[in-house]
Amino acid sequence: MNAYAVDHSHDDHHDHGPPPGLMRWVTTTNHKDIGTLYLWFSLIMFFIGGLMALVIRTELFQPGLQIVDPHFFNQMTTLHALVMIFGVIMPAFVGLANWMLPMMVGAPDMALPRMNNWSFWILPFGFSIMLSTLFMEGGGPASGWTIYPPLVLQTGDALPYLIFSIHILGVSSIMGAINIIATIMNLRAPGMTYMKMPLFVWTWFITAYLLIAVMPVLAGAVTMLLTDKFFGTSFFDAAGGGDPVMFQHIFWFFGHPEVYILILPAFGIVSEIIPTFSRKKLFGYTSMVYATASIAFLSFIVWAHHMFTVGMPLAGEMFFMFSTMLIAVPTGVKVFNWVSTMWKGAMTFETPMLFALGFVIMFTIGGFSGLMLAMTPIDFQYHDTYFVVAHFHYVLVPGAVFAIVGGVYYWLPKWTGNMYDEKLGKAHFWLSTIFVNILFFPMHFVGLAGMPRRIPDYAVQFTDFNQVATIGAFGFGFAQILLLVVVVKCIRGGEKATDQVWEGAHGLEWTVASPAPYHTFSPQPVVK
């Protein structure tokens, strides 16, 4: 964009690259290295969590108990969720933020580079602890990722390990979030005012605030579980004057903002991709920023829509129903803005754009089923059925995951200096899109027909749709190997990418060389 004037003098001195050897990755404080670490970690966890999902789907291929016992099945549903939420989507977003945020705002690195190293490196330890519970006496946690008492308190030796691993993951994401806020507040290039920041930066700025506000609440809730189990407190034990329903309130006070933590950065990524391939400026930039902020604000006052069936007073159910439906307004603003950006644009359909378009359409499907669930009287039928499973998988898989994958394709040439294999990328998109719908769409039907979630066995009339879903699961799972192939191929070589990479790409990150040098923007650029 002509508005950016960049000092290119720093390209001339490549005085210090990364140190050689494995210790580079352990001791690194470079935002690009740490971003890479986060993204690889996320990809590995994606395959681990995916394998757990395939165990679930294989068991559900037929009614009756086939390959795993119910207790292990429950461990799989619990850990699949925890891995996918805390080990895949959140680290992937933090990885993308690490790589792109400093380059987008014209900063030389993250504001707190040593803390950055720490916030990544405690993650593998946290997950080692969590996954090691599978091999313990009594098995891993099997209460569902929502860890409701009193059920979760019946967990065997795994309980304290689960709680400490959640503490570690919380500390990691709080540190990551503080780092992101500090970077955005302190290290923006001269002239990069708040309302000139790219939307990915804006959505992450707001997400980071959500993170530091709610992750500590989760930490508090699990600490209460710990003291209830081992130190004789009665936060959730009715015999001692506590109330198990209170856990649900505290958990969802964290849990609902958490689901926006999982989607707001995805909004940001899509808001970067769509203008590039429509060759138009983003429609309604200001309204996008305010819509994001409104969604974040509303997320704090809607939590009890996850628990309509616990027996709330009518006034409470009405309040949570209407405040939830209100979220559809800013979300609708976003969807219409994306569509308006494409309107009369000179569109092309490279892989990142395909993933962004898939996101807009399929996330909207998930949004609509969410709106259905928001209606209290109807929720009594849908509550804890596969309809809920279909809903949140639509917003998280073809929603958040598609946005992340689209972002990876979009920025991969900038990271590696090579173009990825467009044919394989497109194949990856189409296979993923077809199979993800085969996988999750039938779940709507079995859910409406009354199949409960989190069960290893089901009534025979649900067999057909479950078999279709299982076929979709394997197709979707194997299609993701293509992603790994494309990424590895792109790192090893390929057509050289230009600095701008995409014809319609604008912004500071596209003014630096491809691959992005180890240190960028040491003399800060000036944005006019």
Partner 1 sequence: MKPRLKILHLVLIPIAMFGFGYLMVPIYDIFCDITGLNGKTGSISQAEAELLETDTERRVRVEFISALNRNAPWDFHPDVKSMRVTPGKPYTTSYTATNRLDRLMTGQAVPSVAPAKAASYFNKTECFCFVQQTFEPRESRQMPLVFVVDPDLPDDINTLTLSYTFFDVNSRIN
Question: Between 43 and 321, whose beta carbon lies closer to partner 1?
Answer: 321
For the chain, how long is the longest CA-to-CA vector?
71
Nearer to partner 1, 210 or 439 (CB): 210
Residue 222 or 327 with smaller CB distance to partner 1: 222
Contact with partner 1 (CB under 8 A) among 129, 199, 214, 298? 214
Pick between residue 316 and residue 345 the one whose CB is nearest to partner 1.
316
| The only residue of 66, 132, 186, 309 in contact with partner 1, by rule CB under 8 A | 186
Q: Which stretch binds partner 1 (CB under 8 A): 61-69, 77-85, 132-140, 231-239?
A: 231-239
Q: 102 and 197 in contact (C-beta within 8 Å)?
A: no
Shortest Cβ 242–partner 1 spacing (Å): 8
- β-partners of residue 496 are 418
Rounded-to-integer distance, Cα 60 and Cα 458, Å: 8
**Sole window of 1-9, 241-249, 437-445, 511-519 interacting with partner 1 (rule: CB under 8 A):** 241-249
> Is 172 assigned a catalytic role?
yes
Distance CA 200, CA 242 (A): 43
Indicate which single residue of 39, 100, 131, 181 sits in contact with partner 1 (rule: CB under 8 A): 181
Q: Confirm or reject binding of residue 446 to partner 1 (CB under 8 A).
A: no
* C-beta of residue 275 within 8 angstroms of C-beta of residue 281: yes
Token output for 211: 């993170």
**174 part of the interface to partner 1, by CB under 8 A:** yes
Q: Residue 306 catalytic?
A: yes
Looking at beta carbons only, is 313 or 377 nearer to partner 1?
313
CA distance 9 to 131: 48
Report, in this order, helix, strand and coil percent for the chain, each rounded to 5. 70, 0, 25
The distance in angstroms from the start CA to the end CA of the chain is 10
Q: Any contact of residue 231 with partner 1 (CB under 8 A)?
A: no
Alpha helices in 449-462 (DSSP H): none
**Is cis: bond before 102, omega within 30 of 0?**
no
Catalytic residue among 33, 59, 258, 379: 258
Query: Could you say whether residue 215 binds partner 1 (CB under 8 A)?
Result: yes
- Is 6 a binding residue for partner 1 by CB under 8 A? The answer is no
From the candidates 36, 119, 271, 323, give the one annotated as an active-site residue.
271
If phi over 0 gives left and psi between -120 and 50 gives alpha, with beta otherwise, what is residue 147? Answer: left
Under the criterion CB under 8 A, does residue 253 sit at the interface with partner 1? Answer: yes
One-letter amino acid at 501 equals V
Active site residue 80: yes
What residues are labeled active site?
80, 109, 145, 172-173, 256, 258, 260, 271, 305-306, 331, 334, 453
